[in-house]
Amino acid sequence: MTTFIREDWTLFRTLGTLSQKAGVAVPAIPQLVAKELADNALDVAGNVQVVMLEGKNGFCISDQGDGIPGDDNDIARLFSVARPLVSSKLLRLPMRGALGNGLRVVAGAVLATGGELIVSTCGRRLALYPQDDGTTRAQVVGDFGDIGTRVEIVFGDALPVDITALDWAESAMQLATGDSYKGKTSPFWYDTDAFFELFQAAGERPVRELIAEFDGCSGAKAGKIAATFLGRGCSSLTREESEALLESARTLAKPVKAVRLGIVGAAKDLPDAYAKVEGAVELKAARGSLNAVIPFVVEAWIDLGDNDGKIDIMIAVNKTPITAEVTARTEKAQLAIIGAGLKHYVAKIGRAKVARVIVNVITPYMPITSDGKAPDLRAMFTCIGEAIETATRRAKRGNRANAPRRHSQKDIVYNHLASAVNKTSQSGRYRFSQRQLFYSLRPYLIEATGQEPEYDTVARILTDYENDFGDIRGMYRDTRGTLYHPHTGEDIPLGTLEVERYSRPEWTFNKILYIEKEGFFGILKAERWPERHDCALLTSKGQATRAAKDLLDLLGETEEEITFYCVHDADAYGTLIYQALQDGTRTRPGRKVKIVNFGLDPVEGIEMGLQVERVASDKKRHPVGTYVDPRWAQWLQTHRIELNAMTTDLFLRWLDYKMEIHGSGKLIPPQGVAALELVSKVLDELRRQLSDRILADARINDQVSSAFGELYNNGLQGDLSNVLDRIDQDLSDDDTKSWRKSVVDMAGEVATSHLAGN
């Protein structure tokens, strides 16, 4: 039997096999081409436009980005079907696309149909001619005076195009709103296999250069991680070496929470009923010991209505629709989704008549099942169902409002929040405090209710909104409390802005003592208690604030587990402090934080002989933490014991006893971390000692004194007399400067000029 050999790229040059590589039927190829071009534009630019070409069998995609870099031949290579698979998307990020196949599909569609392709960018119009040998030829056919990039594609008669070819691209543009991920790829998003393949594809690029592109691994950390591989190219690493490198990177990085990945959110032209759910999936390595943990966000939008039993469904990944065929149906009060790896009843919707379902999954890595990028959503179907169920409930609540009704304060805040944020931020120009936003919302609340709103009530509503829809962009909360670092001696004010900038010092503490009374900080710091126990101190003056809870989430992102000890008065309010922290942790199963209740409990306060106070009688029952024994919960209605009832000596002994029972001892890092730290410190010490030796051998102090004497005699006196004039000039040019910065700049210029002249 005769055998035949053909290279993989040849499948792109005929319609039948191009369909196989694209993962769609032949008639849908124009729709896929428009989507691929729109996805590329949306990933790098804004203001993307998609229009049909008048009188031609094609369309045009344009953006206002920086243009396509490179010369004519570089651009021709991008649109060549025989080029190697070139993609930035081996770096896992929550971006559109997955394989880097898109431009090969575009070029293949032109080649297979005898069409036309013109790319206008960076000042010129290029006609591109894909060839049967897999290359593409470029010819300049004119000038291009606009910014960004414009791609015009015309298909041959074998592939007729109409306005529906723009549907997927327009859906991607519709979803291109909300927040996007601003960070780097994370070492936790790769298993052993994927990390090895990434480094193999990076060729001779230095190991340190690539590892610096990972979250938490830039700068000096990159040097630490790659210290064993100095001078090595990425592809030279063995599988075992790449796994060791990945493990080192994880010790210095911290996992990225799903909430940081971004969302589309409530948006124009999307159904009003919206919900989002965050989750993570672990992908096991086939050949190695390190698994990947992939965070994701599922968003769902629901429209209700009588659509003759038909359900219009769209699934998107990273804000662009998937091309795999997906259908939905209802049966026995459940919604089933078939396609993209799903064949499940995913959501209980009751009697709701669902007419339209939109689901968007944002994730740095989506398992795919074909060259056409068909996603495999099986690992996420539980969260998909939860988001659909929640959005359906909200849709049903909205449909119940047929008659006029009095809106709650929550309704009023939600309805006017966008306008209030726009006013407070001056259309996004400034950040603003929660209290400023309250005063922008206040007139709406007074007009609707006729009553003066309470700040605390509105603050709770704003927190509820953020729990449902994500952070209110630009808003921060004022400082209320302090975090103290052992060993570094830092006192960090606890507010939203401070938490945003916060970075946990590595391997410095593995415990935090949360205490509602900041007055005890001085006692504990004076006795070096935090240093003895490698325990940070935290207070937010009563109930944990949003900033304190955000800080907990940040601390829980790292590989370093941390235990959180809660200390409070033996009263009803104190039990709720612990309860709120514990409940917050239960709702975030990914948080690597344990909450331990130290008390004070009423029974131990009585046994210690502390003063018991009577609580003023109140007709209302004081709420008590659900963990409290009912007998003591009743006692707390009329009694309380304060922490301040303890003497300093008793308080310290009590805390030490609690740590003896619940503590984990001194913090000792893993062998790899300690070894890297030793390498770093040896390098620092060698640098210091060698620098001192070189400077001493060169008689540096004598050289400095001699140079200063020459400079003083040759013009420095004039600079000294003109220093105030220079300061005045600098401050008039830049009023954010300090006069000392002006003097430093002047000193650098004087010294540089003198040394250059010698």
Q: Which long-range contacts (CB under 8 A, 24 or more apart) does 426-432 make?
A: 428/473, 428/474, 430/474, 431/474, 431/475, 431/476, 431/497, 432/474, 432/475, 432/476
Query: Cβ(378)–Cβ(337) under 8 Å?
Result: no
pLDDT for 268 beyond 80: no
Q: What is the pLDDT of residues 5-37, one digit of tens each?
A: 667 778 888 888 888 888 888 898 999 999 989
* CA separation for the pair 335, 389 (Å, rounded): 9
Q: What is the pLDDT of residues 560-585, one digit of tens each?
A: 778 888 888 888 888 887 777 666 54
pLDDT band at 373 (very low <50, low <70, confident <90, very high): low
Q: What angle do CA 219, 42, 266 make, to 5 degrees?
A: 100
DSSP code, position 188: G
User: Could you tell me how far CA 73 lies from the centroid of its own chain?
Assistant: 36
DSSP per position, 456-476 = HHHHHHHHHHHHHH---TTEE
How far the first Cα of the chain sits from its last, in Å, is 83
Question: Which pLDDT score, from 0 to 100, does residue 401 have?
Answer: 41
Question: Which pLDDT score, from 0 to 100, does residue 542 have?
Answer: 45
Query: Cβ(355)–Cβ(271) under 8 Å?
Result: no
Question: Which pLDDT score, from 0 to 100, does residue 89 have?
Answer: 55
User: Could you tell me how far CA 570 lies from the centroid of its own chain?
Assistant: 39
Nearest to 321 by CA among 42, 696, 538, 636: 42
pLDDT band at 590 (very low <50, low <70, confident <90, very high): very low
Question: Which pLDDT score, from 0 to 100, does residue 572 have?
Answer: 85
* CA separation for the pair 538, 486 (Å, rounded): 11
Query: Cβ(610)–Cβ(641) under 8 Å?
Result: yes
Number of residues assigned to the chain: 758
- The single residue listed with the structure tokens 């000096």 is 220
And the tokens for 474? 């630009």
Which range, 241-250, 350-359, 417-426, 447-456, has the best average confidence (pLDDT)? 241-250
Q: What is the pLDDT of residues 152-172, one digit of tens each?
A: 999 999 899 999 889 999 989
Query: Cβ(482)–Cβ(538) under 8 Å?
Result: yes
The whole-chain average pLDDT of the chain stands at: 83
pLDDT for 402 beyond 80: no
Question: Which pLDDT score, from 0 to 100, does residue 290 have?
Answer: 92
Residue with more model confidence, 286 or 715: 286
Nearest to 55 by CA among 142, 152, 138: 152
The three-state secondary structure class of 361 is strand
* CA separation for the pair 107, 10 (Å, rounded): 12
Question: Which pLDDT score, from 0 to 100, does residue 191 have?
Answer: 94
Question: Which pLDDT score, from 0 to 100, does residue 587 have?
Answer: 41
And the tokens for 235? 């592809």
Question: Which pLDDT score, from 0 to 100, does residue 544 have?
Answer: 47
* CA separation for the pair 387, 347 (Å, rounded): 9
Helical H segments across 336-476, by residue range: 381-400, 409-424, 434-449, 455-469
Residues 6+ apart with CB under 8 A from 221: 252
Query: Cβ(33)–Cβ(109) under 8 Å?
Result: yes
Q: What is the pTM of this model?
A: 0.57
* CA separation for the pair 16, 319 (Å, rounded): 29
Q: Please return the burial class of 602, using the count of CB atoms within 10 Å of its CB with bins 0-12, 13-18 and 19+.
A: buried
The three-state secondary structure class of 547 is helix
Residue range 172-187: mean pLDDT, rounded:
87
Question: Which pLDDT score, from 0 to 100, does residue 450 have?
Answer: 80
C-alpha Rg value of the chain to the nearest Å: 32
* CA separation for the pair 229, 207 (Å, rounded): 7
DSSP per position, 612-652 = PEEPPP-SSPPP--TTS-HHHHHHTTTEEB-GGGS-HHHHH
Query: Cβ(49)–Cβ(41) under 8 Å?
Result: no
pLDDT band at 293 (very low <50, low <70, confident <90, very high): very high
pLDDT band at 118 (very low <50, low <70, confident <90, very high): very high
Residues 6+ apart with CB under 8 A from 509: 485, 486, 487, 530, 534, 535, 536, 562, 667
Helix-helix angle 455-469:434-449, to 10 degrees: 110
Backbone region of residue 178 per phi and psi (left: phi > 0; alpha: psi in -120 to 50; beta: other values): left
Residue with more model confidence, 669 or 602: 602
